[in-house]
Amino acid sequence: MCTYVFSQLSEETLKTLVTLNEKYIAPEAWEKMQVPLTGDERRRLDDIKSTLYHRHLVVMNETTLWARAIYPMLVLAEQGHIQAWSGVPLKAIYPTFKLEGEADGALAPALGGRIRPPYLIVNEAKRGIHAPDPQFQLYGEMLAAAWLNWDRDADPEQEVFGCYTVNDSWAFVRGIVSNIETDKPTFAIEFSPVYNGVWDAEQIVQLLKFIVAKHLKEVSNA
């Protein structure tokens, strides 16, 4: 059984491991996935945006960009025991392959101060000619998160969200992983429009809040 590191994944490799079903979803469908901001959240978001307006985000190094423009927005989506995390280790053992590595960030439950299987994975695109494709790296991380949740609750269909950021732009992905116990699981994927981290910041946080609220409701119903 081969082990694949997220940063080494390509479209060709993924297609040998899982059945990929990618489809376009109209922007209007994503616009409905929103939870309004509270007054306090709006003020905090305005503070974040005010520090970014006059920064040269394109040349800002990845660590600084994460700290200033990405992680603070994840924190705004926290609710209850769902927290924002950085440097999230992930490992999954499917019937015919293994996945492992570390995601840049996640929204995930906390129990006793420890992270539990994440529901939303965040991948910050690395720079450089030989940098991995953030989209397929994210796919691998989402597959690992889906397996971890399946290992916990055995639900035959695992919904998991992800997003990858390129400078200050955000692109979201909704995934459904099924047939997890078979030799070739199915991974259905839907893409969001691309959001600007400054001009579309409110939409981004509203979408993050929707994802968290959806997860909490499903857990409560279960």
Domain residues of the chain, as ranges? 2-221
> Mean pLDDT throughout 108-118?
92
Sign of CA dihedral 164, 208, 178, 92: positive
Evaluate if residue 128 carries a pLDDT over 70: no
Q: What is the pLDDT of residue 52?
A: 79
Evaluate if residue 22 carries a pLDDT over 80: yes
Q: What is the pLDDT of residue 130?
A: 60
- Give the pLDDT band of residue 134 (cuts 50, 70, 90): confident
Give pLDDT tens digits for 51-90.
877 776 676 778 888 888 899 999 999 998 999 999 999 9
Reduced to 3 states, what is the DSSP secondary structure of residue 7?
helix
Q: What is the pLDDT of residue 36?
A: 94
Which has the closest alpha carbon to 178: 150, 140, 213?
150
> Mean pLDDT throughout 142-157?
95
Give pLDDT tens digits for 161-174.
999 998 889 999 99
> Mean pLDDT throughout 36-42?
95
